[in-house]
Structure 1
Amino acid sequence: MNVLYSLIGVEGLDLLAQNEIFTNTLNFALINNDDNYSIDEPMLNRFCNDILPRIQYTVRCLVLETITTMDRILRAGVYPNLTQLKIFKFQANVFSHFCTDELLFRHHFKKQITDLTLVNNSRHEIGTIDQMTNVYLKLLDFFENLNYLNCIETFIHGNPILSFINLPSTAFISSNLTKLCITVDNFGDCLCLLDGRLNQLSTFIIIIVNVKDNSSMEFNSNDLPNLKYFSLKFKSLTNEYDNQVVPLLHRMYNLQDLTLYIQIKERNRLVDGIQLENDILIHLSKLQRFVFYICTFTSVNHPVTLLSNDDIQRTFSNVKFGQIGCSMNYIDESDIRYHVFSLPFIFDCIGYIGNSFTNTIFNNVTFLCIYDGIPFEHEFFVRLARCFPLLKSLFIINWKAQSRDSPESEHDNTNGSFEVVQYIHLTSLHLPRTHIDYINQMLNESKTRLPCLTELWIHYDQLKTVTNNFTRDATRLNCINVKELHSDCPINHDDNSDDDSIKAQSKDFHLYFPLLKL
């Protein structure tokens, strides 16, 4: 389509291009994913003044940005067949204005739009919980025939967070909405949305951000016979599995597809195959697909019998589970994490795995936290890179020093005696609670290569030590592309200082991080 757009106005090819565009245009997209640049004004003028008026009758879907293009594009045509809107760089205050602009969202749009997706793919703040909730109330009121509302972009960053607990049951109500993808503040918001106000909902995908005690509140607990697909993901550790999640699933007796991502804290027994069968599957006779990741945290207050991976595997005898992966991470006698999950692993995030993690290939995981009570040796990081090939963000928590009697523990790998680890997609590295050995492990290019690292979280004193006051060549290459440096103390290098040593160190620092945004 870009090629065809470029041919409009070219003598001899204009008619051909127009005919092809008029006939086949279903989706028109004009977005810019780079926060540092705006869409070229002459190009935008050409689209709005020439191309869009010609293709407006065949456009079914518009993919736009809130600020830079949305206003111009929507005013450029009438789009009588438009049913889908996908809006990027979504911001609450801007969109709230659009919802009240009758010239922009014309009367026929109110009845036409059945499919709405909102994405915040920028790093800018999108609005407070109250602002966001207010926008979504307006959206559901404005678009009268909305069937599908999607406001989930990623499991990790920037999701629009909403809260419905303090709103009346007559708010955010629809008899048309059949599919909802949403991120809310806590589990009580999930229960609010399933209290009957969205009585035609058949697909419900929800992410819970925070954990709050809603036990004193009363929620409608009627059955949910229309729900066929349910996906529930918790970002935070929760203890709501037994008393909230399981009873909720019992209400969905016609469920055909279930996705569950949950990390359960302070439970006296791991959630294994037998418990999943007795607590959930036996109550969902129509279930055809069950995808899950469940991590059970135990503590000294809830002693458990130590189980091996084989012990856990044997509890998954039900054929509905399909292939299962499991891993037991033993931090110490008072801190054990049991991971059980369906394969292939579809989620983009997994946390608190240690040396004993399974050698499964996690092709979808981009965010990972590793934590153990025994050292992570070099070979562990080699295995990590192989099992998580698309890793973008890595947290390392380990206070135990690496072994000093292994060849990998040498300061540098100048003779190439062991394999250099390569994390070719890693952009964010978090080292706030870790032994200095792992800082050297990750930043020393003779051990690890991080060609795309742009964000680094680290203790400043440890950084100074590992980089030898920002003069060490072995760690320079892995730092040279860093644009954001987050530390435990303010970084203030004064080039104008009267102290020559401070001035020299400041110069070395800026040379070490030439792209840093100060």
Structure 2
Amino acid sequence: MNRSNIQLLDLPDEILLIILKKLDNVDILYSLFGINNERLANIIQHDSFSSTLDIMSMTQNSTIFDSILDRLCTDILPRISFNVKCLNLQLDYMERLLLVTSYPNLTKLKLLNLEFDNSLKYFTDDSPIGQILKQQITQLDLFYNKSGYLSGSSKLYTKTVYAPILSHCEKLQHLNVISPPDLTYISLSLSFLPSNTFSSSTLTYLCIIVSTFDDFVYLLDGRLRNLNTLIVEFRLMDTDSSITHNLNDLPNLKCFSLIHYGTFKENFNEILSHLRRMINLEKLTLHLSFLFETTFIDPIYLLKQLTMHILRLTSFNFYLGIQIGNQEILDFVQNVNRTIVYHIFTLPFQFTRLLYVGNIFPSITFNYVIDLYLYDQVPFEHEFFLRISKAFPKLKRLCMLNSRPWSYETHISFDNVIQPYEIVEYPHLSILTITASIFYLEQFLNETITRLPSLTELKVFYDELRYITQDFTRQTTRRNCANVKRLWINKLIAGSKDYWSYFPLL
């Protein structure tokens, strides 16, 4: 055979299958289904092309989307429905796709951006698809990819979305509520709601964000008694000492993850008491920070206390931030008048946020961190920012915090002298907050020092911004501002013509 004349269909089935698996399976089904080729028809009806259908991946603003959807519903789905085990859908099309045919083996759904009214419409016995959700679905993923999902009442969302899902889906075993790491969604809130709210005897896996520490504790009160995996983040360290929680052992829990990006004020024993209830725990992940104002606690001692009663533990990933606020200790250690912070963690660092990083940090790469807070006990130099750009290659959000004013003289050249700097580049940085020295504003906005090609949100003090940009006329700071769509400043202003041309996308 002349190799130059080999066609796609000349390849053996095994090679064709490998090639087609590299492509989107919905595109394959739409393009090749029904082309009157028996060999291709047998290949594309393989389980790997029809067991999971990702309708969310289709371009929904395309003029051909409706025709693709029509063909899926009329020609394709009725013929492959027996193979379908998982559907990834937008709510707008869920009812149409689920009613077009029966799916006897469908057990998994992934839904995009579930709203208040949508859940009341679908997760009821009166819904046309209510019985499918009630009797078939064992795994449900709720995925939120819009930035507006932080606003809204957590309690209302709990009552109208989260609770109805558990009460209606009688076979549900796996509930996963997620968003991209740089976005968020409305959290679960159980405080002051009936004890049977958000309860299930079938749920074994839960991943969710809750509003407060008390809401996390409510999840352990027996309403989800068969959980073996709990992955939870809580936002606020709010506790009500008048509430008496159920503190029975949790023998079914095998995998547990607890994340909080705030600070516990000497609440270590409260965390410890709940971990000791998990008598059969095998995998543990913790991201916690503690502030000890009255005494110094050895971080290694804390780690031992966290794990010494978990006898079956085989995996432990953690970040512990230890802040010391005792004045006598601070004066002895380094003669400063602020808090000392210890960072202790396992490698590789698996969390997306890192707070209160100073001049000293290890020479490793933090591949998962997208959100970083810098805290300058000692003023940062240009070389420090070079290290940051290399150590945090996927950084999307950066916040500069000034612990105290700079105490030495520094001069901003305003482009009169070309500085011998290696240019720092943050290719993914989209959100920058500087509530620190004006010299950091120069460091980030001057394109001869730093390049920020993806910057779209900037939070600064107006007077400092005006000074650094020379009343919004300076050329070397213009490019890093050109893509900003949201500008947060500390005063109302009547923008000049130069101001609006400096930020054309506002």
TM-score above 0.5: yes
Secondary structure, counterpart of 2:56 in structure 1: coil
Which TM-score applies when normalising by structure 1? Answer: 0.85
> Is the contact between residue 269 and residue 304 of structure 1 (CA under 8 Å) also seen in structure 2?
no
What is residue 52 of structure 2 aligned with on the other side? 27
Pair 1:513 & 2:503 matched: yes
Tell me which amino acid in the other structure corresponds to 1:445: E
1:489 corresponds, among 474, 477, 491, to: 491
**Can you list the C-alpha shifts for 1:285-343, whole angstroms capped at 9, x where unaligned?**
11111111111222246846866xxxxxxxxxxxxxxxxxxxxxx79334211111111
1:43 matched to 2:68: yes
| Deviation, structure 1 residue 34 | 9.2
In the alignment, structure 1 segments of 5+ residues that lack a partner are 308-329, 494-504
- Shift of the 105–402 alpha-carbon distance from structure 1 to 2, 3 Å rule, reads farther
Residue 86 of structure 1 corresponds to which residue in structure 2?
110
Q: Aligned-pair distance for 1:76?
A: 3.0
Q: 1:295 aligns with which of 321, 344, 347?
A: 321
Indicate yes or no: 2:184 matched with 1:181. Answer: no
After TM superposition, list the pairs within 5 Å mapping 1:78-117 onto structure 2. Answer: 78-100=102-124, 102-117=126-141
Q: Displacement, 1:14?
A: 8.5
Of stretches 74-83 and 215-224 in structure 1, the one that deviates more from structure 2 is 74-83
Change (3 A) 1:414 1:69: farther
- Equivalent-residue separation in structure 2 for 1:33 and 1:270 (angstroms): 53
Q: State the 1:35 CA deviation.
A: 10
TM-score normalised over the length of structure 2: 0.87
Correspondence list, 1:163-202, <5 A: 163-202=189-228
User: Within the alignment, does 1:59 sit opposite 2:103 as a pair?
Assistant: no
Q: Which amino acid aligns with 2:157?
A: M
- Name 2:387's counterpart in structure 1: 383
Which residues of structure 2 form unaligned runs of 5+?
1-24
Which amino acid letter does the alignment assign opposite residue 454 of structure 1? Answer: T
Residue 170 (structure 2) pairs with residue 144 (structure 1)? yes
AA aligned to 2:375 is Y
Query: 2: CA distance between counterparts of 1:302 and 1:154?
Result: 43
Q: CA deviation at 1:237?
A: 1.7
The equivalent residue for 2:146 is: 122
The 1:45–1:275 alpha-carbon spacing in structure 2 relative to 1, beyond 3 Å, is same
The 3-state SS of whatever aligns with 1:96 is helix
RMSD between aligned alpha carbons?
2.8
Superposed, which structure 2 residues align to 1:494-505 within 5 Å? 505=496
How far is 1:395 from its partner?
A: 0.3
**Whole-angstrom distance in 2 between the partners of 1:34 and 1:472:** 41
CA shift for structure 1 position 385: 0.6
1:41-95 CA-to-partner distances (Å, cap 9, x unmatched) read: 33333333333333322111111223x4333333333222111111122323322
1:428 equivalenced with 2:453 (yes/no):
no
1:52 alignment partner AA: L
SS in 2 for 1:474: coil
Look up the equivalent residue of 1:479 and give its one-letter code.
Answer: C
Identity %: 37
Q: CA deviation at 1:402?
A: 8.9
Counterpart pick for 1:451 among 436, 440, 453 = 453
Q: Is the 8 A contact 1:412 1:446 kept in 2?
A: no
Counting matched residue pairs gives: 477
142-151 vs 95-104, greater mean Cα deviation: 95-104
* 1:93–1:131 contact (8 Å) kept in structure 2: no
Equivalent residue, structure 2, for 1:367: 371
The answer to whether the 8 Å contact 1:85/1:113 transfers is: yes
